[in-house]
Amino acid sequence: MVEIPPQQAAWTEKSEAGRNPAVLYSFRRCPFAIRARLALAAAAVQVELREVSLAAKPPELLVASAKGTVPVLVLPDGRVIDESQEIVRWSLEQLGQAWPDDGLAAQLVASCDGEFKALLDHCRYPERHPNGDASAARQRALTLLRQWNRGLHEDSQTRQRPELEWLILPFLRQFRGLDVERFAIEPGLDTLRDWLEPWLESPDLKAVMASPWGERRVWHSPSWLYHLTLAEDWRQAKRQGFYPWSTRGMTLEQVGFVHASWRHQVAATYGRFYADASDVVLLALDPQAIANAGVPILQEPAPDTGELFPHLYGPLPMGAVVLADPYPGDASEAP
Ligand SMILES: N[C@@H](CCC(=O)N[C@@H](CS)C(=O)NCC(=O)O)C(=O)O
């Protein structure tokens, strides 16, 4: 029996950074991440894109950047860039171009990442501002946008700069998305709309919202373990706050441990035990959270084949479940 050191895989990966392509931790819809992807795609940088669930950040992201925001770029030499503006700056360097620290461009970027972004978040999540006034936030955001509009109307050169598209337009797109019809008729925004609308249909944006730059499927940490379960058993466990099962139809009490798999073992386990079930869920488990809950994980051989599987010697801690997705999720996952 071999006890598994939690997060071994994350550390191994870090030490191998020198041999890997750049890694980009991203969240498809995040305007900061869209900004970074636009810049990196324009600079033709090769990246391994890792789509992150913000509710279940993989340990590798937190090892690279403890603040846990996306985007994060890990360069092949191990350097980490964890601010979207810095990723744009780095991408511009690859293109032999300078950061827009002049005049109107610099003012727009400062306004966008400062007051405008705060107002945008207030409008998007009014519940997070119980004493705030979302409609006043919208009015103030519109006042800023009218200032931007005037500046860009008088300085049409600035609008032509592609790096300003990367920096500003993902945020303007998000504001427009709050209420597309109202945005279309707000007075004083004509220049901004003329700038934004063609970009929304542009190949540049489409490229970073589709695979391989804009993955929808969440990247899975190699350190995670997996447990297949019937959807109804999982629903009931969430209701009662306790998961009593070891495997299909057998409880932890009967078996003595909870069966689990490594990622590469999931399809075969599904084929052996769950293929005839109509509603199956795959739980991804964080071994660090399992260890923190005081549940040992042992590698033990299956009696028939000797293949080693991870076994949890204690109840599955509900807080260790980082993802719960229908399985098979799509054709590529079917056994
Ligand atoms: N200043 C950062 C901000 C990045 C940021 O806040 N990203 C959001 C997603 S849009 C995030 O990762 N939030 C962390 C969370 O929600 O847990 C940058 O420019 O990269």
Structure confidence at residue 330 as a pLDDT band (50, 70, 90): low
Q: Both ends of the chain: CA-CA distance in Å?
A: 28
Structure confidence at residue 329 as a pLDDT band (50, 70, 90): confident
Cα dihedral value 236, 240, 245, 247, nearest 10: 30
Q: Is 30 in the pocket of ligand 1 (CB under 6 A)?
A: yes
Across all residues in the chain, what is the average pLDDT? 91
Q: Is 205 in the pocket of ligand 1 (CB under 6 A)?
A: no
**Alpha carbon distance 266, 29 (integer Å):** 29
Is the per-residue pLDDT at 1 higher than 50?
no
Domain 225-333 has CATH 3.20.170.20: yes
Q: What percent of the chain shows pLDDT beyond 90?
A: 84
- pTM of the entire structure? 0.87
Least confident piece of the model among 108-112, 170-174, 190-194, 213-217: 213-217
Is the per-residue pLDDT at 331 higher than 80?
no
Is the per-residue pLDDT at 7 higher than 70?
no
Is the per-residue pLDDT at 136 higher than 50?
yes
Structure confidence at residue 3 as a pLDDT band (50, 70, 90): low
Structure confidence at residue 132 as a pLDDT band (50, 70, 90): confident
Is the per-residue pLDDT at 270 higher than 60?
yes
| Candidates 3.40.50.720, 1.10.3720.10, 3.40.50.300, 3.40.30.10; CATH matching 1-223 | 3.40.30.10
Compute the distance from residue 112 Cα to the ligand 1 centre, in Å: 14
Do 300 and 327 touch, CB atoms closer than 8 A?
Answer: no
Q: Is 149 in the pocket of ligand 1 (CB under 6 A)?
A: no
Q: Using the atom order of ligand 1, give the atom closest to the CA of residue 29.
A: 10
Instruction: Indicate where the chain has its CATH 3.20.170.20 domain(s).
Output: 225-333
Closest C-alpha to 161, from 113, 115, 92: 92
Backbone torsions φ then ψ of 114, nearest 5 degrees: -95, -105
How confident is the model over 54-88, as pLDDT tens digits? 988 999 999 999 999 999 999 999 999 999 999 99
Compute the distance from residue 87 Cα to the ligand 1 centre, in Å: 13
Q: Which residue has the tokens 């945005």?
A: 183
How confident is the model over 77-126, as pLDDT tens digits? 999 999 999 999 999 999 999 888 888 999 999 999 999 999 999 999 99
Closest C-alpha to 170, from 290, 60, 39: 39
Output the pLDDT for position 156: 87
Which residue's CA is the closest to the ligand 1 atom numbered 9?
Answer: 30
Q: Is 118 in the pocket of ligand 1 (CB under 6 A)?
A: no
Cα dihedral value 317, 319, 320, 321, nearest 10: 110
Q: Is 39 in the pocket of ligand 1 (CB under 6 A)?
A: no
**Alpha carbon distance 176, 129 (integer Å):** 21
Output the pLDDT for position 101: 83
Computed on alpha carbons and rounded to an integer, the radius of gyration of the chain in Å comes to 24
What count of other Cβ atoms lies within 10 Å of the Cβ of residue 148?
21
Do 188 and 146 touch, CB atoms closer than 8 A?
Answer: yes
Q: Is 54 in the pocket of ligand 1 (CB under 6 A)?
A: yes
Do 300 and 289 touch, CB atoms closer than 8 A?
Answer: no
How confident is the model over 23-42, as pLDDT tens digits? 999 999 999 999 999 999 99
Instruction: Indicate where the chain has its CATH 3.40.30.10 domain(s).
Output: 1-223
Compute the distance from residue 108 Cα to the ligand 1 centre, in Å: 19
